[in-house]
Amino acid sequence: MGNIKRWQRTVRRRKTEDRSQKSDICTLSSVLCLGVLAIVPAAWAAMPGARVPPLSRGQAPPLRRQGNPRIGYVYPAGGQQGATFQVVIGGQYLDGVSNVYVSGAGIQATVLEHNKPLTQREFTLLREKLKELQQKRLAATARLPDGQGNSNKAGEQEGAQDSTTPQWTAEDEQMLAEIKKKLANPPNRQANPVIAETVTIQVTIAPDVEPGERELRLGTPSGLSNPLVFCIGQLAEFSEKEQKGSTTPALGSRPAGSLVGAGSAPAQPEPVMSITLPAIVNGQILPGDVDRFRFEARKGQQLVVAASARELIPYLADAVPGWFQATLALYDANGNEVAYADDYRFHPDPVLFYEVAQDGEYVLEIKDAIYRGREDFVYRIALGELPFVTSIFPRTNCRSGPNSPRI
């Protein structure tokens, strides 16, 4: 009888342990599921061939969950072999950005600065805090006879007697300075949230890297951003600088939602940037923007002007309507249009061919077909007597017989 009772107790204990183990397994499964989500970037970084270093160990997890980091443009979207330069990346949910990942070897990039515009609520709260601090400083200095914050004995005694006298401390002074600094960057109500944040990075390209397209991502505590194209070129690069206060609106100063600026061409032409061929030209098209580049050409030169725009950023999810439709036009020294292109066969990015008729200055012009524009209307133009493959025939390689494809 005693044995039976012991056996029953053993069975009950084992059942309890089984239930406990099942519960533990369920809990563990949940944790693993969440853990997998958290370690995907690290796992991806550890994959053979991936050139993504793991996130630094000192990084603290985000205090609150933010959206997936996203980048909307990279400007300039590439550079020359052996060059060191700064690149601005626009995006969203980039808090804590600390790493830049570029596919392939030979490119080093570090984060210099992250700029996130204040929200209206943050701006209002900071202004209230600033007002509060200013009143506190006024009250604190008003109690002091010399008014300079250097209390004398009488002031100290007076302050000691009145326990409600506010004390102006070094921390208050520091906070006041920080708030003033933050308020200098007011919220941009018209900026599009998906590209409102900017990250400035420093890029160094080794001289011997292979030219071509790479992928660039940003690493944040929330994970990796989407990739965007980053090009490595061999030609000299020129990048236009948008001038604030010019006829072209400053970055972010126009409503991004109002992409369509049809008919709103700039009242005055922008300054023309001088370049020398062959070259790669980088720029951004803002609303109503028309970019122009002047260069010297000799009679008989066969120029190829190939723009990359949609190729760099194929899809703007929030743009209504659609995308950057770049157009190219070439003008001679008298201002006559000698060539124009708004696409190339079935590709939306234009390519322009022109045999130079006479020596002299020429001006290349690029704009959106209907004068739309935004910071993420980024382009690169290859310009000069450059090799350009227009067709290959046949596109197959025969096992037997002569094989002489025509290019």
Q: First and final CA of the chain: distance in angstroms? A: 96
Question: Which of 219/283 has CB closer to Ca ion?
Answer: 283
- The verdict on whether omega for the bond into residue 207 sits within 30 degrees of 0, i.e. cis, is no
- In this structure, are residues 351 and 344 in contact, taking their beta carbons and an 8 Å threshold? yes
- In this structure, are residues 109 and 201 in contact, taking their beta carbons and an 8 Å threshold? yes
CA-closest candidate to residue 80, choices 206, 244, 232 = 232
Q: How far apart are CA 188 and CA 123, in angstroms?
A: 11
Q: How many C-beta atoms lie closer than 10 Å to residue 37's C-beta?
A: 10
Distance in Å, CB of 369 to Ca ion, minimum = 15
Question: Which of 289/376 has CB closer to Ca ion?
Answer: 289
Per CB under 5 A, the segment of 4-12, 125-133, 252-260, 286-294 that binds Ca ion is 286-294
289 binds Ca ion (CB under 5 A): yes
Name the residue type at position 237: E
Question: Which of 289/349 has CB closer to Ca ion?
Answer: 289
Distances (CA, A) of 194 to 69, 99, 237: 10, 20, 28
Q: What is the 3-state secondary structure (H, E, C) of 102-137?
A: ECCCCEEEEEEEEECCCCHHHHHHHHHHHHHHHHHH
Residues in 135-164 that interact with Ca ion by CB under 5 A:
none
Question: Which of 52/251 has CB closer to Ca ion?
Answer: 251
Q: Is 372 helix (H, G, I), strand (E, B) or coil?
A: coil
Question: Which of 226/247 has CB closer to Ca ion?
Answer: 247
Question: Which of 257/271 has CB closer to Ca ion?
Answer: 271
Q: How far apart are CA 397 and CA 269, in angstroms?
A: 51
Distance in Å, CB of 308 to Ca ion, minimum = 15
Per CB under 5 A, the segment of 65-73, 128-136, 288-296, 352-360 that binds Ca ion is 288-296
* Residues touching Ca ion, count (CB under 5 A): 3
CA-closest candidate to residue 185, choices 203, 173, 197 = 197
Per CB under 5 A, the segment of 199-207, 284-292, 384-392, 394-402 that binds Ca ion is 284-292
Question: Which of 291/349 has CB closer to Ca ion?
Answer: 291
Distance in Å, CB of 374 to Ca ion, minimum = 11
Per CB under 5 A, the segment of 115-123, 132-140, 283-291, 375-383 that binds Ca ion is 283-291
Residue 42 phi, psi dihedral angles, 5° rounding: -65, -40
Distance in Å, CB of 94 to Ca ion, minimum = 24
Per CB under 5 A, the segment of 15-23, 184-192, 282-290, 361-369 that binds Ca ion is 282-290
Distance in Å, CB of 240 to Ca ion, minimum = 5
Distance in Å, CB of 291 to Ca ion, minimum = 4
**Ramachandran category for residue 203: left, alpha or beta (phi over 0 → left; psi -120 to 50 → alpha):** beta
Distance in Å, CB of 393 to Ca ion, minimum = 39
- In this structure, are residues 89 and 74 in contact, taking their beta carbons and an 8 Å threshold? yes
Question: Which of 69/373 has CB closer to Ca ion?
Answer: 373
Structure tokens belonging to residue 94 = 């980039």
Structure tokens belonging to residue 337 = 């249009």
Per CB under 5 A, the segment of 22-30, 161-169, 279-287, 306-314 that binds Ca ion is 279-287
Distance in Å, CB of 34 to Ca ion, minimum = 45
Question: Which of 79/288 has CB closer to Ca ion?
Answer: 288
User: Nearest to Ca ion by Cβ — which residue?
Assistant: 291
Q: How far apart are CA 259 and CA 247, in angstroms?
A: 17
Q: What is the CA radius of gyration of the chain?
A: 31
Distance in Å, CB of 31 to Ca ion, minimum = 50
Q: How far apart are CA 127 and CA 316, in angstroms?
A: 35
Q: How far apart are CA 13 and CA 18, in angstroms?
A: 9
Distance in Å, CB of 259 to Ca ion, minimum = 15
Question: Which of 197/291 has CB closer to Ca ion?
Answer: 291
291 binds Ca ion (CB under 5 A): yes
Per CB under 5 A, the segment of 192-200, 287-295, 310-318, 399-407 that binds Ca ion is 287-295
Per CB under 5 A, residues contacting Ca ion are 283, 289, 291
